[in-house]
Amino acid sequence: MTEPIKTDVLIIGAGPCGLFAVFELGLLDMRAHVVDILDRPGGQCAELYPEKPIYDIPGIPLVTGQELTDALMEQIKPFHPTFHLGEMIESLEKTGDPGFRATTDAGKVFEAKVVVIAAGGGSFQPKRPPVPGIEAYEGTSVHYAVRRMEDFRGRDVLIVGGGDSALDWTLNLHPLAKRITLVHRRDDFRAAPHSVEQMRALVADGRMDLKIGQITELQGEGGKLAGATIKGGDGTVAQIACDAMLPFFGLTMKLGPVANWGIDLENNLILVDTAAFETSVPGIFAIGDINTYPGKLKLILSGFHEGALMAQKAHRYVFPDKRLVFQYTTSSTNLQKKLGVA
């Protein structure tokens, strides 16, 4: 039998919202363990766009996904959270009032008074384009995320898609790549209008290529891409040289085991109240992109707000006999001592 790990709060998900929840809980003396299926903290920010600029974090005009993750990790250091990475919570059962028992796919067992689900949209998997033999190039020449922009310096990059990710990376990689070719099935884009205007200006200046059509074939050997065949809407066929391909066909969201925990769902999202972002099961909270409520905005800053209110209610479960006095970090010497800045 695995000896259970006992903690005040179990956080499922180590993205920005899960990390900030550690901070808010820590200010109120609640100890947290964090479980994430990825092999490092940061969630989608670190996994899908570590070098992509984020412009809507309050007070920070520009920050990349990885920089935001690093800053949050630094912020929660005083509270010494324990991370369990590369594991997924498979089962969750209520054992008391409060009290939960959770088990990971690695057999690790947690006993917690409160559970916070901060798992983004669940498990995200990129949609694979319907191109024969593309699997042979995945991980070497075909990439579904940009983890290091420098890896694309001086390369002939083929970007496929018409949404924000495709246009953003077209513009961000253009200064580094030898040549960028953007392929979309139609001459109509779902991305932000300003991004589309910038892309079209580069095309008009001859500084990149835009092809309307679909990829039908890839050429190369040993996982190294050399070229691609594009079939246009009018039936014409074109060959282009490329040694890297970035397909952005969206992500498939898999809620995973969460769907079997007896929590009320709506359209594959977890229903919560707006007073504390608690689910239909008392003691289980959901913050960030995985929850839904009237007026919900899928923004990191919204998830931070949700985490703050969640911690206030969680305190009642963890310390039922302790009165909670609201304090500000700017004026409370007690909180400043916890943060090591007093």
Edge to edge, the sheet with strand 237-241 lists 214-221, 224-231, 237-241
Q: What angle do CA 90, 93, 99 make, to 5 degrees?
A: 125
Query: In 3D, which of 310, 318, 246, 312 has the Cα closest to residue 118?
Result: 310
Average pLDDT over residues 284-310: 97
Q: Which of 68-82, 120-134, 262-276, 305-319 has the lowest mean pLDDT?
A: 120-134
Supply the pLDDT for residue 233.
Answer: 82
Percent of residues, the chain, with pLDDT higher than 70? 96
Structure tokens at 99: 């009290």
CA–CA separation, 40 vs 18, rounded Å?
A: 13
Residue 252 has pLDDT above 80, yes or no: no
Residue 197 has pLDDT above 90, yes or no: yes
Average pLDDT over residues 205-215: 97
Query: What pLDDT band is residue 189 in, cutting at 50, 70 and 90?
Result: very high
Query: In 3D, which of 259, 255, 261, 254 has the Cα closest to residue 92?
Result: 261
Residue 9 has pLDDT above 90, yes or no: yes
For the chain, what is the mean pLDDT? Answer: 93
Q: How many C-beta neighbours within 10 Å does residue 11 have?
A: 29
Q: Tell me: the pLDDT tens digits for 10-31? A: 999 999 999 999 999 999 999 9
Q: What is the pTM of this model?
A: 0.72
Supply the pLDDT for residue 1.
Answer: 54
CATH numbers and ranges of domains, the chain: 5-124+252-339 (3.50.50.60), 128-249 (3.50.50.60)
Supply the pLDDT for residue 303.
Answer: 97
Supply the pLDDT for residue 45.
Answer: 82
Residue 36 has pLDDT above 70, yes or no: yes
Supply the pLDDT for residue 122.
Answer: 61
Supply the pLDDT for residue 254.
Answer: 65
Query: 237 has which bridge partners?
Result: 231
Query: What pLDDT band is residue 43 in, cutting at 50, 70 and 90?
Result: confident
Residue 124 has pLDDT above 70, yes or no: no
Percent of residues, the chain, with pLDDT higher than 90? 80
